[in-house]
């Protein structure tokens, strides 16, 4: 049964400075290789910073861009997953997660749900992704990648898990949203609930990788965590400070949890698809 040592990098980054952010990625990856880590994952938009606004078009790059060559080369020894601004073949600009493995750009996940409410305005600068697809990794097995708001929509982890992903990686740039008199910020407990619920319902690992630091008026809270297939917390990073969190992904635990409770395996996908088609037909008629 596959086991893999995963390093979660809870990092800060410099807004709109690709070269500086790339250098910090390379240093972290090189250290992870020396430490015997098999896969490393960074937060959402870790190569660019979050609030890039109109600079998004200028910073967008294809996964095969020559500037990403250091990550491709290092991926011969370690699987690398990080956040960046992608320029597609037809010149769409996306908030994306890049996966590098075995010296190539292995896959891209384009953020599907772009928040444009409150402090967020992503839809002004990015196109929305249109695909949910679990991807095979030689070191991690079949995984699913989501970006922040994606994971607030149950359809994304549902589809990834039923496509065979036993590890869901959630790249985040989640800022604080404070309310007067609040103790633990509600956004922190909300994310903990979402991660625990998803891990339990789909009997898989969930790794939330949040950034830290300040950017314009945004303060990012960190508290990255790995949740086990039974919904329990495996390990957590502190709030507000950079941290590297190592955890062993042991897929024998997925097997054990699914044998103990088959609620995930008993899911009737055909029923779900049929009822969903009926719902969509009704909405088209109405």
Question: For position 141, which CATH number holds?
Answer: 3.60.110.10
Contact 61/67 with Cβ under 8 angstroms? yes
Task: Return left, alpha or beta for 163; rule: phi > 0 is left, psi -120 to 50 is alpha, else beta.
Answer: alpha
Distance (Å, whole) CA 149 – CA 238: 21
Q: State the pLDDT at residue 266.
A: 98
Q: State the pLDDT at residue 179.
A: 61
Q: Flag residues of the chain having pLDDT under 50.
A: none
Tell me the CB-side half-sphere exposure of residue 6, using CA atoms within 13 A. Answer: 32
Q: State the pLDDT at residue 184.
A: 84
Q: State the pLDDT at residue 181.
A: 58
Distance (Å, whole) CA 218 – CA 134: 31
Q: State the pLDDT at residue 177.
A: 77
Q: Which one, of 6, 9, 75, 89, lies nearest residue 44 by Cα?
A: 9
Q: Which residues contact 87 (CB under 8 A, 6 or more apart)?
A: 60, 61, 62, 65, 93
Distance (Å, whole) CA 175 – CA 173: 6
Residue-number span of the structural domain to which 214 is assigned = 3-285
Count up the domains in the chain and report the number. Answer: 1
């Amino acid at each position: 049964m596959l086991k893999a040592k995963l390093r979660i990098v809870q990092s800060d980054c410099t807004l709109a400075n690709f070269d500086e952010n790339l250098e910090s990625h390379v240093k972290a990856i090189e250290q992870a290789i020396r430490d015997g880590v098999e896969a490393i994952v960074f937060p959402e938009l870790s190569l660019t910073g979050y609030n890039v606004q109109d600079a998004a078009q200028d910073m967008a790059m294809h996964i095969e861009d020559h500037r990403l060559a250091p990550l491709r080369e290092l991926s011969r020894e370690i699987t690398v997953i990080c956040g960046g601004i992608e320029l597609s073949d037809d010149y769409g600009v996306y908030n994306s997660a890049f996966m590098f493995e075995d010296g190539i750009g292995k896959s891209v996940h384009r953020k599907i749900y772009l928040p444009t409410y409150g402090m967020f305005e992503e839809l002004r600068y990015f196109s929305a992704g249109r695909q949910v697809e679990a991807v095979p990794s030689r070191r991690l097995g079949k995984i699913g990648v989501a970006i922040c708001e994606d994971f607030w929509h149950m359809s994304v982890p549902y589809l990834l898990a039923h496509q065979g992903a036993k590890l869901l990686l959630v790249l985040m740039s989640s800022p604080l949203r404070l309310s007067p008199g609040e103790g633990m910020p509600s956004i922190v407990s909300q994310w903990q609930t979402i991660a625990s619920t998803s891990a339990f319902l789909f009997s898989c690992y969930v790794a939330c990788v949040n950034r830290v630091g300040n950017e314009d008026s945004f303060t990012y809270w960190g508290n990255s965590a790995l949740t086990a297939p039974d919904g329990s917390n495996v390990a957590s990073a502190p709030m507000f400070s950079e941290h590297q969190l190592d955890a062993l992904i042991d897929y024998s635990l997925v097997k054990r949890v699914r044998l103990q409770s088959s609620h995930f395996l008993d899911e009737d996908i055909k029923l779900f698809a049929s009822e969903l088609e009926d719902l969509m037909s009704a909405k088209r008629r109405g």
